[in-house]
Structure 1
Amino acid sequence: MAKEPTLGQASRGMAVATLAARATGFLRIVVIAAALGMGTELLDNYNVANTLPNAVYELVVGGAMASVVVPLLVRASLSEPDDGVEYAQRLLTLMVYGLSLVTLVALLAAPLLIDLLAPGFTAAQRSQALVFSRFFLPQILFYGVSATAGAVLNIRGRFTAPMWAPLCNNVVLIAVGLIYLVIWPTVGTGDLTTGQTLLLALGTTAGVFAQMALVLYYLMRSGFPLRARWNPRGLAVRRIGRLGAWVLISVVAGQVLLAMATRAASLSGPGGVTAYQSAYAIFQVPFAVIAVSVMTAMLPRLSRSAAQLDHAQVVEDLSRTLRVAAVAMAPIAVAMITLGRPLAALLFEHGRSVASTVSLLGAVVTVFGFTLLPFTGYSIMVRGFYALQDTKTPALISAGVATIGVAGCAGAIWLLPRADIVLGVPAAYAIAYSAGLLVSAALLRRRLGRIDGRRLIATHLRTLGAAAISAACAILATRALTPVVGNGWTASLTVLAAAGAAGIVGYVAAGLLLRLTELRQVGNVAAAGMPRT
């Protein structure tokens, strides 16, 4: 087996690759929106069809990859005389013919899947989305092979290479969007020609294929022989299924909520699906970059304490993680709530985008801002259960969260005006994850005896006070500048820069006055999470 890189080398490479992939991923969303038109039926149709392969893949195998498949690969690499090479070959082969069958079934069921996700589509929209889906659904196989090959690379000490693969996909999609804009700069967004359809459909799937090809290339470069082994004996397929059962419940719950949210957004009229999905992408960026960094830096210690049955230290580590994450995420939530509209305009008011949909997107971003803190807290609490080697409890909690979220989306459909249904989706998320956070806290308290409740409540109250001051500063700056700078890209950039700076200054000043000591810890954790040589 290849020599494993040092922790510093691996983390440095992964940090660079992750940052590049996320930056280009967001640029891809912006370019495709400019090319197809934010608020157009075309972009809604494209996005719904492109959601299908990801949803099906996650349901079938995605959720079990890290929690089940990787540990089995590691065990085989340690126990087998060939370092688990033959086991990995059998697993890759199983993925190929298993996911090929899944892809075939998904292609046959494509009309039902479109109807499930987008009941609000017209007949013309459904037809166009169905055409796109026929090209997109083979991505299920590409995602599966890419993820499995990446897992094999990881156990062979190659951590960075798989993380560059999404960058390859993003670059291809950005090129597709730019080519579309260059070749058809003045065409509308109605019916597509054959050339336009093929460029978008084949180009999108080519990006995922390129992602898979890059991972396989790096796998071969690592010395792993790519060879089909069609006999699945020795894979312990039943054990894989048994170990992944609770994980599957969590994944199914998440996908049910995603499907219901997309259904609700589709009923909000043209641009509803795109506004929801784009706002959700904006919502995920700070969580991935900031909250995950905090958890990555602090939760290994939590896991070690749990393994040593030191529950007092588990409580201390969990409390600190929750407090630092809340303090780090609060100003981002304030920015989303107060600056959603100029942020949406800056990112998406380009090309063929419809101004009314960009404005709607800004409103959805604002509501998603109220979800950021409870979602972050819930995610940390769930990792507390995983550190205690408990997968059943978080699976059941996630099912409850999904149930509340689905009910909230249904309530939005029944109670809100059609144009506002999409605003009810992030509100449903906020309610669902707040409930999940409270239930998780109660169950962890029963499990551990205490969860440092007084200090958590005190810190969150101080954080909310500092956030309120921050919001007031940002709102005052926005109201003062907007009449002066007007509208447009440069105006949005000016408002974002000035109001964002005012909000940060207000947050830090209020935090210091309120003795929010975790402000310093945020900087310490960030430094601790930086790669070291």
Structure 2
Amino acid sequence: MKLLRSTLLFSALTFLSRLSGYARDMVQAHVFGASGLTDAFVVAYRIPNFLRRIFAEGAFAQAFVPVFSAARQSGDRQALRHLLDRVAGTLCAVVLVVTVIGVICAPWLVNVFAPGYAGDPVRHAAAGDMLRITFPYLFFISMVALAGGVLNSFQRFAVPALTPILHNLAVIAAALWLAPLLEVPVYALAWGVFAAGAIQLLVQVPALARLGLVPRPRLGFADPGVRRVLRLMGPAVLSASVSQVNLLVGTAFASLLVAGSQTWLYLADRLLEFPIGMFGVALGTVLLPTLSRRSAAGDGEGFRRSIDWGVRVMMLLALPAAAGLVVLAGPICATLYQHGRFTPEDTAMTALALSALCVGLPGFMLGKVLAPGFFARQDTRTPMRAAVIVVVVNIALLFAVVLPLRNAGVATAHVGIALSTGLCGLLHASLLGWWLYRRNIYRPGAETVRLLLWLLLACAAMVCVLLGARQLVGDWTALPLLWRLVHLAWVILVGGLVYAAVLLLAGVRFRQLREPPSD
């Protein structure tokens, strides 16, 4: 039950973080709406955020945690500190160089990631200015990720899970109090991101100090442990960041569409990140150190059972989340975003993007469980192969679907970007699962297959009830905010109860979610 307790703790803390994230999005939508300048901020935020997945909790974490866990398993405290100091110093040096280059080359980066801004000097200049402000966030958050990897390896999940709340509060404060003081108010969001990175780093220090593992950065490119991390990190750069690569490619294509498209996609993605962050990332974060320890100990059967447990838990959560978000996309977007300058049309456009993205939600979440099956074995090349295939397929779909829609003047062309991203999420999880199966690393047990059938039946029942409830409420956008919140709360509650009731009637019990002991 240790894995389940840790996952529930991480999920509960992440839930608080996501609530503050939605408060941030609501404030942003209310104060700034969806416009060309908010699109420019999305670009300025997405670029360092994408690199964060490489240098922070993405490729770096997937490479660092198994190596750090193996060093910890040896019991040599001095060697552990030596590895941490050298990794910290090397990561710090690399990210600092990348940050400086990013700040200097901001206008050229905008040309690459938002080619549609070439003919719009206002958006291009705003995106470049804000990118110079947000890029140092990469340095701060990379150090935060290093600290989080250390804490997670010691089963200390609270501080890393709660830290994002500070990010959201900093951006909210900037939007409410700094924006009115600036000549271009939307620049406040960029300054909020900068401040958030520094604050998040500072709160990690006491937690590391309690473990006696505050890093003393030293350059260590020649250190064997550092070189091992770097070798693993190379292929993991793409494999751990596949969804972000696709989102970044989608952002570039969206820059060619009507103003507001990037904001609609960004807000839809933020809603999708709720179940992914609360359940997918939580479970993957908790599972990776456990799988790494079992791999180092040669416990193949325990390794397989842990993945199978993760798949069962993930399916239990991912399938109803995807179905519910598709059915309730409009009501959710209207409740969270339709205030101030965010119009009913913006709500409809965001809801369409959310429904399309949710097609891939089970794939996005299962990938968080299946990928650690490779990373824990210090195999980053296989996930890289899957990622390369997925990115190529995504780009092909965007050229085949989005550009024709854009050339035809279709206002909802951004939905093609969202659907392509969702389909590629399913493809990514399918490739990872197939390669684990073919190598006999993981094969789902009979109990997992039976559970899947009951989950699909429960989801079908839930969808029928949600559709009926939505029809009963009527036009969500015409309701006052308070009534939107009330109706959304009872509809979600009823849908969840129906889902749980069907599973209970089918004989699904809590004990099926317990992690089986390894032999």
TM-score, with structure 2 as normaliser:
0.83
Deviates more, 1:342-351 or 1:139-148: 139-148
CA deviation after TM superposition for structure 1 residue 368, in Å: 2.3
Is 2:103 the partner of 1:107? yes
SS of aligned partner of 1:408: helix
Partner of 1:193: 183
Q: 2:233 aligns with which of 244, 262, 272?
A: 244
Is 2:343 the partner of 1:348? no
Is 2:364 the partner of 1:372? no
Query: Given residue 193 of structure 1, which amino acid in structure 2 is its aligned partner?
Result: E
Partner of 1:444: 436
**Per the alignment, do residues 321 and 203 of structure 1 end up closer, same or farther by CA in structure 2, a change over 3 Å counting?**
closer
Deviates more, 1:504-513 or 1:127-136: 504-513
Alignment of 1:261-276 (within 5 A): 261-276=250-265
1:65-117 CA-partner distances (Å, limit 9, x unpaired): 32333455556666767464455344433333332211121123222321222
Query: Given residue 355 of structure 2, which amino acid in structure 1 is its aligned partner?
Result: T
Cα RMSD of the aligned pairs, angstroms, is 3.9
1:429-457 CA-partner distances (Å, limit 9, x unpaired): 23223233333343333222983587766
Aligned length: 509
CA deviation after TM superposition for structure 1 residue 416, in Å: 2.4
In 2, Cα distance between equivalents of 1:227 and 1:308:
30
Deviates more, 1:108-117 or 1:162-171: 162-171
Partner of 2:146: 148
The answer to whether the 8 Å contact 1:409/1:424 transfers is: yes
Partner of 1:404: 393
Partner of 1:173: 171
The answer to whether the 8 Å contact 1:275/1:360 transfers is: yes
Partner of 2:270: 281
CA deviation after TM superposition for structure 1 residue 268, in Å: 3.1
The answer to whether the 8 Å contact 1:275/1:357 transfers is: yes
In 2, Cα distance between equivalents of 1:415 and 1:25:
35
SS of aligned partner of 2:271: helix
Is 2:461 the partner of 1:469? yes
In 1, Cα distance between equivalents of 2:247 and 2:57:
15
Deviates more, 1:296-305 or 1:61-70: 296-305
Deviates more, 1:480-489 or 1:291-300: 291-300
Partner of 1:187: none
**Per the alignment, do residues 298 and 85 of structure 1 end up closer, same or farther by CA in structure 2, a change over 3 Å counting?**
closer
1:295-336 CA-partner distances (Å, limit 9, x unpaired): 678888877877787777766665554344323332222221
Structure with max Cα Rg:
1
Alignment of 1:488-499 (within 5 A): 488-499=480-491
Partner of 1:362: 351
Q: 1:51 aligns with which of 46, 53, 65?
A: 46
In 1, Cα distance between equivalents of 2:47 and 2:334:
28
SS of aligned partner of 1:244: helix
Q: Percent identity?
A: 25
Q: 2:116 aligns with which of 100, 115, 120?
A: 120
CA deviation after TM superposition for structure 1 residue 508, in Å: 4.0
Partner of 1:334: 323
SS of aligned partner of 1:416: helix
Q: 1:30 aligns with which of 19, 26, 32?
A: 26
Partner of 1:205: 194
Deviates more, 1:334-343 or 1:140-149: 140-149
**Per the alignment, do residues 318 and 266 of structure 1 end up closer, same or farther by CA in structure 2, a change over 3 Å counting?**
same
Deviates more, 1:51-60 or 1:39-48: 51-60
**Per the alignment, do residues 370 and 224 of structure 1 end up closer, same or farther by CA in structure 2, a change over 3 Å counting?**
closer
The answer to whether the 8 Å contact 1:172/1:206 transfers is: yes
Partner of 1:3: none
CA deviation after TM superposition for structure 1 residue 127, in Å: 1.0
In 2, Cα distance between equivalents of 1:145 and 1:268:
36
Which runs of no fewer than 5 residues in structure 1 stay unpaired?
A: 1-5, 185-191
CA deviation after TM superposition for structure 1 residue 347, in Å: 0.6
Is 2:473 the partner of 1:487? no
Deviates more, 1:502-511 or 1:410-419: 502-511
Query: Given residue 480 of structure 2, which amino acid in structure 1 is its aligned partner?
Result: G
CA deviation after TM superposition for structure 1 residue 270, in Å: 1.8
CA deviation after TM superposition for structure 1 residue 366, in Å: 1.7
1:114-151 CA-partner distances (Å, limit 9, x unpaired): 12222233221111111111111122221223323444
CA deviation after TM superposition for structure 1 residue 362, in Å: 1.4
The answer to whether the 8 Å contact 2:70/2:292 transfers is: no
The answer to whether the 8 Å contact 2:89/2:219 transfers is: yes
In 2, Cα distance between equivalents of 1:80 and 1:423:
53
Which runs of no fewer than 5 residues in structure 2 stay unpaired?
A: none
In 2, Cα distance between equivalents of 1:311 and 1:431:
32
CA deviation after TM superposition for structure 1 residue 346, in Å: 0.7
In 2, Cα distance between equivalents of 1:135 and 1:116:
18
**Per the alignment, do residues 173 and 299 of structure 1 end up closer, same or farther by CA in structure 2, a change over 3 Å counting?**
closer
CA deviation after TM superposition for structure 1 residue 9, in Å: 11
Deviates more, 1:394-403 or 1:432-441: 432-441
The answer to whether the 8 Å contact 1:336/1:368 transfers is: no
